A and B are shown apart, each in its own frame.
Chain A
Amino acid sequence: MKVVVRLFARARDAAGAERVTLDLPPESRVGDLRTALAADFPKLAPLAPSLLVAVGNDYAGDQAILGEDAEIACFPPVSGG
């Protein structure tokens, strides 16, 4: 299945894109997404362990299963304030 991932901050700069599309097996989990991002975008690899993943506007752990239509975002730790 194809999933679109929005990227922010240093993750966006490293990938050189605001959105990337990944081809993942059905029933893939957030952890698989993290692995695929690092493989497809080598510049993201050093950041991969610290990336946070959000699915449907909420944080998702590595075991969460991804739906094809889910709104997915990926970004390094936040620094608002």
Chain B
Amino acid sequence: MIQLTSDPIDYAKLTESVRSTASGAVVLFLGTVREMTDGRQTLALDYDAYTPMAETKLQELENEAHARWPIDQIAIVHRTGRLKLGEVSVAVAVSCPHRQEAFEAARFLIDTLKATVPIWKKENWSDGTTEWVHPGVEPAAESD
């Protein structure tokens, strides 16, 4: 199951959704909004997504993980819109017969999501500036 949503992520419900008697292991990864980055203070993050492509890429990720590990079920949800400190921006839940493949698959899913799924975060810093995060590209502070 993959989803983009502007609503808070119910990660307990999400975790429950992948549980079954076929699995002996469930791994949950949560990405949460961190306050401090390299000495700068974040007030909030704005997430934007290219929704149709993001959904396509998330589905491809789910399919690839199923092909590589003996996974029972996968659930991935990513937030969009404005998130406050501590809020959950992404949740990845994986169930497998054994823990090793569950850890490996969850790690693959979040690492590949971060590198390939068209979603972006914008920092709202405490000094009033904002900045889109684009790994590998020089920051260019904006004042909007």
Contact = CB atoms under 8 A, between A and B. Distances in A.
Q: Are A and B part of the same complex? A: yes
Interface of A: 6, 8-10, 13, 46-47, 50, 52, 54, 57-59, 71, 73, 75-81
Nearest to A74: B50
B118 A8 contact: yes
Contact of A50 (B53, B117, B137): B137
A80 B49 contact: yes
Nearest to B49: A80
Contacts of A47: 137
Given A58-B56, A78-B120, A79-B119, A13 B50 contact: no
Main secondary structure of the interface of B (DSSP, over half): mixed
Contacts of B110: 81
9 contacts: A8-B48, A9-B134, A46-B140, A50-B134, A73-B53, A75-B120, A80-B89, A81-B110, A81-B113
B90 A78 contact: no
Given A54-B53, A79-B134, 19 more contacts: A8-B50, A9-B48, A9-B120, A9-B122, A59-B116, A73-B53, A75-B118, A76-B134, A78-B115, A78-B116, A79-B119, A79-B121, A80-B47, A80-B54, A80-B117, A81-B78, A81-B89, A81-B90, A81-B110
Interface string B32-60: 00000000000000011110111011000
Contacts, number: 85
B110 to A, nearest CB: 6
The 9 closest A-B pairs by CB, nearest first: A80-B119, A76-B134, A81-B114, A79-B133, A9-B120, A10-B132, A57-B53, A57-B56, A9-B132
B127 interface: no
A73 B117 contact: no
B114 A57 contact: no
B90 A80 contact: yes
Contacts of A81: 31, 78, 89-90, 110, 113-114, 119
